[in-house]
Structures are given as C-alpha cells and as structure tokens.
Amino acid sequence: MNQIAAGEVVDRPAAALKELLENSLDAGARSVSVDLSEGGVRRMRVADDGAGIEQDDLPLAVARFATSKIATIEDLERAATLGFRGEALASIGAVARLAIVSRRTDAKHAYRIACEAGEVSAVEPAALAAGTTVEVEDLYFNTPARRKFLKSEATEYARCEEAFTRIALSRPEVAFALTHNGRRSAHMPPEGARERAARLLGDDFAASAVAVDSQGARARLAGLIAAPGFTRANRDAQFLYVNGRFVRDKVAAHAIREAYADVLHHDRHPAYVLFLEIDPALVDVNVHPAKSEVRFRDSSAVHQFVFHTLSRALATPGVHQKPGTDPGFPPGGKLGSVPGFAQAGFAMAQPVAAYASMFETAVADERRAVPVAAEATQSPPLGYALAQLHGVYVLAQNAAGLVMVDMHAAHERIVYEGLKEALDATTLPSQPLLVPISVTATPEEIEQAAAGRVELETLGFDVAASGPRELLIRAVPALLADLDAPGLLRSVLREMGEFGASRVLVERRNELLSTMACHAAVRANRALTVAEMNALLRQMERTEFAGSCNHGRPTWVQFPMADLDRLFMRGR
Ligand SMILES: Nc1ncnc2c1ncn2[C@@H]1O[C@H](COP(=O)(O)OP(=O)(O)O)[C@@H](O)[C@H]1O
Ligand SMILES: [Mg+2]
C-alpha cells in the first residue's frame, strides 16, 4: 500500500490506536488491554479476548480493502460495525512493524502474521490463550516526513489517552486497561454507564448528571447530561456518539448548546455523554477518513430532536444541582460531602400558563403556613415556609427535611419563564420600519428568505427581495428593534439554512427578558410574609427550569433529615 495514503488513515499514534480498539470491539471483546511505549510511537499493543481471526484469514486482515465486515453493498450503506473499509491494518502495516497473533476459540493454537513497511510475512503457529493481540512497533520508521510531524511524547500520549477514553466511555460493559511506559494509568471492570462516566469524567459529573432517553420515529437519544450547576470552563467533557462512534458534529453540538442557553452562563460549557442511535440510512459516516464526522440526511430533524430532548430534560423542575461547592454551611462544608445531599428531583413539569402575580395564591396558602409533622409527608415537593433568613433565604420544611431557597434567584426564574411563555404562545410582535433597510445579500440568502417567508413573519420580520443581490427589511421584531437588524437577519437566514429553523431571535429575546426578569424579581432584603413565601414555593414547583436561576446558579437546596441528624450525631 502507498505510504502516503497510509499516513492519511493513521496520521498519528492515536489514530492507529482508535482503529485497533474498534477492531477489538467489532470482534466482540469483553476485555481489552492497551500497552503503550513512548507515546505509542515506539510500541503499541492491544490485546483482546474477542472472536479471533482464522488462520487462512490472517493474510486478508492485512491486505488493503479486505474486510470481513461487509458482505453486500447494502451492508456498506448500513455499516453497523465500527470498522468497515478494510484499510486500517493495511495502513498501519505500511508505515510500521505490525504483528498480529490471534486464536479462534475453536482453533488448537494461535497463528501469527507480520507486516513490515508493507512486506507481509508467512503465517506461522504461535502461542496465545485466546483472542487477538496486535502489536505495532516503530510507527513511521520508514516515513521520516510523517515522523517529523509527530509532537512530543507527552502530546502523542495525551491523544492516545483521549482516543482510549472516548471508546471506554461508550462501552461501559467492556473492561479496559491502559498502561504507558510500564505504568498503569487506567483499569476499569465491566460496569454501568454512570460508574464509567464517574471514572472518566469525575464523580461530580456522574452524581449530578441527568439521564435522558428519548425515542423518536427513526432515532433515539440517550445518555447523561450535566445539571446546569455542573458545567465546565472548556469543552473537554463533551462526548457525542452517533451509532456508537464518537463524532464531532456541529448540528448536534449547536442543538445541545441551544438547549442549555437558558440555564448556562455564556462562558461555561455543558458536559455530556450522549448516544444518538439513528437509522443508518439517514446518516453518512464516510465524510472523513477517521469517520469522526457525519452528515445527516435531514439535519434539521436531528437538530430539533436533540434540542427538544435536552430542553425537556433540563426543564424538569428539580434538575438538581448538588450544592457541593456552594453553601458554606455548616462550617467546614461537611454537609456538602454527604452523599445524597442533593436536590431531589420532583416529577412535575408544567409550564407556567402565563406570568401572574407571584402573590396570587397567597390567601389560599395562608392558613396552612406550617403543617404538623404527620401532614408533612403529603406536603408539596418544596414544602411549607418556616421563616426568612437575613432577608435572603427562605427556609421551608418538606417531607425530606429542610429546604433553603434563594428567593431572588427563584423569583427571577419564575418571572423569566413567565415572560417567555407568554411570548412563545404568539408570534413575536413586529414593528414596521418607516424607512426600510436594504441589505446586500447572497443568492442563497435571497432564496432562503423567500423559502422561509412564513417563518420569518412569525419571528417578526418582513423581508423581500428587491434586486438580484438585495433584500429589503420592511419590519423587524418589535422587542429587538434596537438591535442591528441586517446582522440579525443574516444570522437568522444562516441558521434556517443550516438547521432548518432559527432560534437566534428567540435567544436574543430571551437575553433581554432575562435582564428584565432580574430587575423585576424580588430583591434580597425584602421581608416576605409566610404566605408570600409559600406562594413563591408553589410557583417554583409549577415553573420549568425552576432548579436554577437564569445564570445557572441553583435556586434551592435540600438538606435531608438524615444529614441534619448526622450533624448532631443523632440516632447512632
Ligand atoms: N482484534 C481483532 N479481532 C478479530 N478480527 C480482527 C481484529 N482486528 C482485525 N480483524 C480482522 O481484520 C480485518 C481487517 O481489519 P481492518 O483493517 O481494521 O479493517 P475493517 O475493520 O475495516 O474490516 C477485519 O475485517 C477483521 O476481520
Ligand atoms: Mg477496523
């Protein structure tokens, strides 16, 4: 095989490792161990306990375009396994010293084949208990140009570790081990998805993550997403798999970001491990040689499916953030480390009908300010108010114990969701411009504007072509009249083209509403009556996203009785 082409397929050690790991999984391995030396360049060994390779098939395994995974052209379309082009081993063998030892379960012993710079050896008997062991030595020894592109040992190793993590995260039922230069850096038994995520992304992520699972007509999205309070300063905890394969996909990434837009501070990033299973006929995985990108036949449907699934999950009141770091209560932060000391989810996700005065229900609640203990078991999720602390927190008693509410943050969220809800129900009010604005536009933009006319109108825009390269804006969304209309229109048209729908406007509008809500919400240091506090609690229970304020901070925290008891060493 041509060494230049081979270098494209395995452009660095991590790419070779990924191919070997995928082969092991395709062979049904239950346990895979990886041994690397000097960042994988000097040596890379992947041993699995999978089905193994037949003696006669060994030469085929290292031959180009030989694959055991495709029988027909339809298979190529559906490509259910990870590998399917029969290129990886041949490519590795062209630019390294490759040796494969394998034993089928029914074979009397193992066989070995080697391939060095493309020269394939004869098949010989060898010793191996079961499965397949692939060894790659001196990567790029015969292609100095490629070797020059390698980064430091530490960098190449980090990339290998990343490739390893992506695969290990996607297959928690398989055991994995990793060593580098003789030192063990990971060892994981078969386990559940949450355990595997805890191991690789941290206990904090796993403990607070919300499980999602949504079935569409021809797709399913499942996995774990971080609660808004557990976001990151960078994108390094974002794992999306399409039909089992790790990918970077901008359609899905955009949909995920949008779903978090309301609960995330703009310089924070969500963390997630998501698996999208989609009818293989609806996705093209051969866009990229490493198959790390995909193209969806209907990207707008995928965008909507992902966006709605995550929005729904995040909207559930009580999408809990474990206080962990926040409350400095009690001194020493002892409570924060008690397991189970987290907001309990409550199964109730009714949107607010419309924004109404938060004190509306005050009278009805007045009589039952503090229920007796027996009654507390049937109390509403957030319980009944007891008192107000320093004008900042509402203390309430619920079935589980003590609830503390940040009243400003909570009210802000309620006001905000109310405003949004009221506006979502109708089309955005439009404001005609006295002097229409003409904008130069590309033919695609003009076409998009014509095709999306109705949608643009519901967003408050009135736009028409006024020449082959010109659009005329005759009306703009009233709420956003002060913003840069041509810029806004371009973003909207681009999103409509790319994702089939635009949320740019809704987002801008929400930013404004969020500011309005912040000003409208009850300020700290305002004394509330018990009735007012109860009204606030009831309103929170009815509000979507009530678990966190518009800036992603938690709005309430549960202190279970058991944890309080432990503080006072009761019941031991
Ligand atoms: N670890 C393994 N266990 C069993 N069979 C393997 C393993 N690695 C490779 N093979 C066999 O070698 C063939 C070629 O592998 P590869 O070059 O990666 O191509 P592909 O995975 O696209 O088929 C595979 O189709 C498979 O039959
Ligand atoms: Mg393969």
Q: Which of 104-113, 226-235, 442-451, 495-504 has the highest mean pLDDT?
A: 104-113
Residue nearest ligand 1's atom 26 by CA: 68
Nearest Cα neighbor of 416 from 301, 227, 543 is 543
Q: What is the predicted pLDDT for the residue at 10?
A: 87
Residue 171 Cα to ligand 1 middle (Å): 18
**Per-residue model confidence (pLDDT) at position 96:** 95
For ligand 1, atom 12, the nearest C-alpha belongs to 61
Give distance in angstroms: CA of 202 to centre of ligand 1: 33
- The DSSP string of 189-207 is -S--HHHHHHHHH-HHHHH
Tell which atom from ligand 1 comes closest to the C-alpha of 81: 21
Q: What is the pLDDT of residues 149-203, one digit of tens each?
A: 899 999 999 999 999 999 999 999 999 999 999 999 999 999 999 999 999 998 8
Q: Distance from the CA of 130 to the center of ligand 2, in angstroms? A: 19
Q: Give the ligand 1 atom nearest the CA of 91.
A: 17
Residue found by looking up tokens 């390094």 in the block: 236
Instruction: Give the residue whose CA is nearest to atom 13 of ligand 1.
Output: 61
Q: Which of 70-84, 365-379, 555-569 has the lowest mean pLDDT?
A: 365-379
Q: Using CA atoms of 313, 315, 319, 325 in order, give the dihedral in degrees to the nearest 10.
A: 120
Range with the poorest average pLDDT among 162-176, 278-292, 400-414, 528-542 = 278-292
446 or 357: which carries more pLDDT confidence?
Answer: 446
**Which protein residues are within 6 Å of ligand 1, measured from CB?**
19, 23-24, 27, 48, 50-53, 61, 67-69, 83-90, 132
SS3 258: helix
What pLDDT shows up at residue 101? Answer: 97
| Cα distance between residue 131 and residue 135, in whole Å | 13
Quote the ligand 1 centre to 140 CA distance (angstroms): 21
pLDDT at 289: 65
- Report residues near ion ligand 2: CB below 5 Å: 23, 83, 88
Q: Whose CA is nearest to atom 14 of ligand 1?
A: 61
Report the share of the chain in percent with pLDDT over 90: 40
546/326: higher pLDDT: 546
User: How many other CB atoms are there within 10 angstroms of residue 541's CB atom?
Assistant: 15
Q: What is the CA radius of gyration of the chain?
A: 29
Q: Are 517 and 550 in contact (CB under 8 A)?
A: yes
Ligand nearest to the CA of 69: 1
Least distant ligand from the CA of 92: 1
Segment 367-387 shows an average pLDDT of 61
CA nearest ligand 1 atom 21, residue: 83
pLDDT at position 66 is: 58
Q: Sheet containing 384-389: which strands, arranged edge to edge?
A: 384-389, 393-398, 401-406, 556-560
Question: Tokens for 487?
Answer: 């810029």
Mean pLDDT across 103-120: 94
Which residue of 10, 18, 21, 23 sits with most ligand 1 atoms within 8 Å of its CB, as the best mutation to test the pocket?
A: 23
Pocket test for ligand 1, best of 1, 20, 22, 26 (most atoms within 8 A of CB): 26
Distance 388 CA to ligand 1 centre (A): 66
| C-alpha torsion sign, points 116, 121, 124, 130 | positive
Residue 316, CA atoms < 13 Å, CB-side half-sphere: 20
pTM above 0.75, yes or no: no
* Residue with CA nearest ligand 1 atom 11: 61
Give the pLDDT of residue 189. 96
- Does the pLDDT of residue 322 top 60, yes or no? no
For a ligand 1 pocket test, name from 48, 68, 285, 286 the mutation site with the most ligand atoms within 8 angstroms of its C-beta.
68
pLDDT mean over 561-567: 89
Whether 343 shows a pLDDT value over 50: the answer reads no
β-strands 245-246, 238-242 pairing: antiparallel
With 80 as the cut, is the pLDDT of residue 19 above it? Answer: yes
Q: How far is the CA of 513 from the centre of ligand 1 (A)?
A: 55
> Which residue among 67, 76, 105 has the greatest number of ligand 1 atoms within 8 angstroms of its CB, and so is best to mutate?
67
pLDDT at residue 325 in the model: 30
Phi-psi region for residue 383, left (φ > 0), alpha (ψ -120 to 50) or beta? left
Rounded average pLDDT over 61-72: 68
Q: pLDDT tens-digit profile of 452-478?
A: 888 788 778 899 999 889 999 999 877
Number of neighbouring beta carbons within 10 Å of residue 122: 9
Structure tokens at 351: 């949107």
Q: What is the pLDDT of residue 309?
A: 93
Q: How far is the CA of 57 from the centre of ligand 1 (A)?
A: 10
Q: Does residue 261 register a pLDDT over 70? A: yes
pLDDT of residue 132: 98
How many A from CA of 449 to the centre of ligand 1?
49
Ligand nearest to the CA of 115: 1
The closest residue, in CA terms, to atom 7 on ligand 1 is 23
> What number is the average pLDDT over the span 288-312?
86
More confident residue, 512 or 408: 408
For residue 199, the Cα-to-chain-centroid distance in whole angstroms is 17
Helices and strands: H and E segment counts in the chain: 20, 23
CB 105 within 8 A of CB 29: no
**What is the reported pLDDT for 144?**
87
Residue written as tokens 């008891």? 565
Q: Whose CA is nearest to atom 27 of ligand 1?
A: 68
Buried residues in 413-442 as b, exposed as e (16+ CB within 10 A): bbbbbbbbbebeeeebebeeeeebeebebe
